[in-house]
Amino acid sequence: TAGITQAPTSQILAAGRSMTLRCTQDMRHNAMYWYRQDLGLGLRLIHYSNTAGTTGKGEVPDGYSVSRANTDDFPLTLASAVPSQTSVYFCASSDSSNTEAFFGQGTRLTVV
Amino acid sequence: KNQVEQSPQSLIILEGKNCTLQCNYTVSPFSNLRWYKQDTGRGPVSLTIMTFSENTKSNGRYTATLDADTKQSSLHITASQLSDSASYICVVTLETGRRALTFGSGTRLQVQP
Is A101 within 8 Å of B100 when comparing Cβ atoms?
Answer: no
- Determine the length of chain A: 112
DSSP-derived pairing of the beta strands A10-13 and A107-111: parallel
The single-letter code of the amino acid at B51 is: T
Cβ separation of B43 and A43 shorter than 8 Å?
no
Residue range B70-94, pLDDT digits in tens: 999 999 999 999 999 999 999 988 7
Task: Check pLDDT > 60 for residue A31.
Answer: yes
Nearest beta carbon to residue A103 from set B41, B44, B93: B44
A96 burial type by CB count under 10 A (0-12 exposed, 13-18 middle, 19+ buried): exposed
Are residues A43 and B4, on separate chains, in Cβ contact within 8 Å? no
Strand partners, A89: A36, A107
pLDDT digits (tens, 9 = 90+) for A52-65: 999 999 889 999 99
Nearest CA to CA, how far is B106 from chain A (Å)? 7
Task: Count CB neighbours of B89 within 10 A.
Answer: 27
> What parts of chain B have a pLDDT lower than 50?
none
Beta strand pairing call for B107-112 and B10-14: parallel
CA dist A37 and B35 (Å) reads 17
